[in-house]
Structure 1
């Protein structure tokens, strides 16, 4: 997919959902994914936020991989999504299809 900021080709991958890169031979795909994941998940590349009352965390949704850990003992959370930009998500990601996502549900742990 093209990067929304610079218009250059890019990859959107994560270890939980990416099994191969289409267009590459299996061995080449595995090798590239292993290299990408080793950089992406290196200890010095991961930020884990310690939440306190009133905290706000903002990230670029297409540039930063994000997830949450366990919720034990954290109490109730309120999440809000804010989208800023000249183009909407689907316009920025023309190769993605809404039908691929519409049946997914977010559930609390």
Structure 2
């Protein structure tokens, strides 16, 4: 049983097709790793439009995989970008957001036996 994510919605959406489910999980793992790196750079450079873009893309998957606590942090990141806040005010929120997503990714890699090349 997964602790950091839930694939109930994905099962319904894909008709319990194991191959389609795994493909969606792999897509999320690859996308999330890339987007987290880009998001971290965008925050450090205060590129608010890029923050909104990356968080919005990740948020679709966070909702699908029911990683609910990250959805709340994503809202905080979006508000920060909308208000063009200071970098210092968002660093802790991003740190928790990133750690929680990484825990889900680690669990998904293990559960679905996903091996990706090192970038």
TM-score for the superposition, normalised by structure 1: 0.30
The structure in which a higher percent of residues are helix is 2
TM-score by length of 2: 0.29
Bigger relative CO (Cα 8 Å, ≥ 6 apart): 2
Structure with higher Rg: it is 1
